[in-house]
Amino acid sequence: MLKALTIVTASLLAMTDVQAQPKTFIGRQTPKIVNRQFTPEALWAMGRVGGATVAPDSKTVVYNVSYYSVEENKSHTVIYKVNSDGTGEQLLTTAKTSELSPKFIKNGTQIAFLGADAEGTMQLWAMNPDGTGRIQLTKEKEDVEDFTFSPDEKKVILVKSIKYGKRTSDLYPDLQKASGRVINDLMHRHWDEWVENIPHSFVGDFDGTAVTNVKDILEGEPYECPMKPFGGIEQLAWSTDSKTIAYTCRKLEGRDYACSTDADIYLYDVTTGKTKNICKPEGYVRPAVDYTESLKNQKVNTEAPVVGGMTFAGYDINPSFSPDGKYIAWQSMRQDGYESDINRLIIMDLKTGNCRQLAADFDSNVESFTWSADSKKIYFNGVWHGEIHIYSADVKTGASKKITEGQYDFTSVQLFGKNLLCGRQSMCEPTDLYIVSTKDGSAKRLTNENKYFFDNIDFGKVEPHWTKATDGKSILSWIVLPPNFDKTKKYPTLLFCEGGPQSPVSQFWSFRWNMMIMAANGYVVVAPNRRGLPGFGHEWNEEISLNYGGQCMDDYLSAIDDAANNLPYVDKNRLGCVGASFGGYSVYWLAGHHNKRFKAFIAHDGIFNIEQQYLETEEMWFANWDMGGAFWNGHPKTFENSPHRFVDKWDTPILCIQGEKDYRIVTSQAMSAFNAARLRGIPAEFLCFPDENHWVLKPQNGILWQRRYFNWLDKYVK
């Protein structure tokens, strides 16, 4: 239901940090560590490295780090600068409010960034490279959520939110205090908010000291740009001559928006204000479709119009012009309604309009990308066999080549002179910045944000393990081992069920589902890349839609049975099963099919009743695709595998966790599962967060989550 998100965009950071204004400056922390034990408190004290930008001379890098205060229950983002050899780290911002999204301007003599004005509104600012000489560049009434300057720096794009639709007070001016909402169509709420505001992109003039003449490039259009809930400035791009803005937009509303993923790339002429869709022919009219059926077999996909020799019916996002101005590249999914289709890398010849796919030989997703300086290559990151690495794609031949190696996830990629600047993480360490050689793939550490913790804490290790599935294919699981591991001992073991459902079990570092915290509490973790995950080919990735209770569940049972029977340190009599989102569905389903393998279950934000979920979720394209359409149209295989149909076989303690602001999988799902367990006399607990969404973002809630999580496992598994 949610694709892997390895990069936190500047707009998302701004959104979370603007809402949390701390009373004191929250910065780098060095808490007392007892017995070299990794604890939830230590996890939340770690710095979180975010977006980075390279200076024009490639001698310095500016980047964000976010810190969290458990006491204040708030977060704070600051800006650092570091030399290209890793020396000279300098904190540039010391305000109590967050300052973020740094970008070099004026040939590196200034750094533009977002920060609050005296009224607390986020504005665009500039400062000297040493943090002095601050000047406010915008005086907007609304928060500036993100920005990017044109190559000639005479103009700038600003992302701001505008009012969407009519409030009850607009309909009835005499009822200003009425709390009721009048709803007339789908998509009235999204992710964790009622849709009353949407982001728009504005273009303004910049004279070096101030931004003026700000104009909405989607004036009068009720569409998002960037697209919610996670789109940021990467969804817009300037042409090399500064005359054109490419932007991503799904120009649909209500039911159409809720049921379609058809986003396109548009070119906006800065001089004339005219807009052109480069993914659809002029005059294209979207065909009528039946939104209670899957779009998979409807003509919206099979008869999609051809542009430049290709069809673009699904997500087309994140445009980028080549440095020589000849091409525009973007990421593209082929099929409308399928949010987890393979993410292709497309380039269009701007002179001829012809389109080609690069890296077609890479049978997985292109996650993010950047052009080489000579426009002959595109560097991108993508997942394969549980690791996210950097690859190059040759513009002339289209062929891809792997650049990096190792048990890591490279989470971002951008040019750093002749090399690349990348974020890198693993299950054993959070994100830091590295300089990656384009010649041999070697990675040189640039930041070491959490050195204190790694100097004072013992961490576990992670090993790959392959298992034969019931159909003879091989499943890769990551086996997480406790610190100071003793192979002669037997350990309680957890089966980790991934969400998505098509998000990879790669070398991710999570600040909730953290493998090192689980290991530190004495658990071995088995984390399988079951059927329906990217990184093992298109066929493997596809084999989950309409088949939730099928091969993917067999894979889970194969992985845990193999570990229990063949890894001598796994205690088969002390097994637990945990997961969130689709992983939560997996937990609920396995609770009715595990045949007493497990001693305890934990499900976070999981689907318990699929029929109920079909009519409760907001992004209906997902429900239509994965479930085959509405249950009243006769799609028994998916709906008959709903976990609630197997509650009569539940016999094991279960902890159900849910955020009440989760509008993707709503609270009734966890509440129903908890009620069902208790009605059957099964030990159960319901942990509900009224102020959290599909994730747990607040520090004290995060620590509460960890405490109840391990309290449950220690009670029933250990």
Catalytic residue annotation: 581, 662, 694
Using CA atoms, how far apart are residues 314 and 263, in angstroms rounded to an integer? Answer: 6
User: 461 has which bridge partners?
Assistant: 481
| Type of residue found at 605 | D
Q: Where are the alpha helices (DSSP H) in 56-138?
A: none
Show the beta-strand stretches assigned E in 84-196.
90-91, 100-105, 110-116, 122-127, 135-136, 146-149, 155-163, 189-190, 193-194
The SS3 assignment for 574 reads strand
Using CA atoms, how far apart are residues 469 and 464, in angstroms rounded to an integer? Answer: 16
The SS3 assignment for 636 reads helix
Q: What H or E segment, with its residue span, contains residue 389?
A: strand 387-394
Using CA atoms, how far apart are residues 438 and 434, in angstroms rounded to an integer? Answer: 12
Residue 569 φ/ψ region, left for φ over 0, alpha for ψ in the -120 to 50 degree band, beta for the rest = alpha
**How buried is residue 21: exposed, middle or buried, by Cβ count under 10 Å (0-12/13-18/19+)?**
middle
The tokens for 643 are 């976990």
Quickly list DSSP for 676-708: HHHHTT--EEEEEETT--SS--SHHHHHHHHHH
Is the bond leading into 229 cis (omega within 30 degrees of zero)?
Answer: yes
Long-range contacts of 134-142 (CB under 8 A, 24+ apart): 135/209, 137/112, 137/206, 137/209, 137/210, 137/211, 138/204, 138/210, 138/211, 138/214, 140/214
Using CA atoms, how far apart are residues 467 and 132, in angstroms rounded to an integer? Answer: 57
Q: CA angle 198-201-202, nearest 5°?
A: 130
User: 659 has which bridge partners?
Assistant: 689
Task: Find, among 186, 200, 195, 193, the residue nearest to 167 by Cα.
Answer: 195
The span from the first CA to the last CA of the chain, in angstroms, equals 32
Show the beta-strand stretches assigned E in 606-662.
654-659
Residues 181-210, buried b or exposed e (16+ Cβ, 10 A)?
eeeeebbbbbbbeebeebbbbbbbebeeee
Neighbours of 135 (CB within 10 A): 12
Neighbours of 307 (CB within 10 A): 19
Residues 6+ apart with CB under 8 A from 357: 310, 344, 345, 346, 398
Which backbone phi and psi does 637 adopt, to 5 degrees? -60, -50
For residues 708 and 677, is the Cβ–Cβ distance under 8 A?
A: no
Q: Which residue has the tokens 């030399």?
A: 83
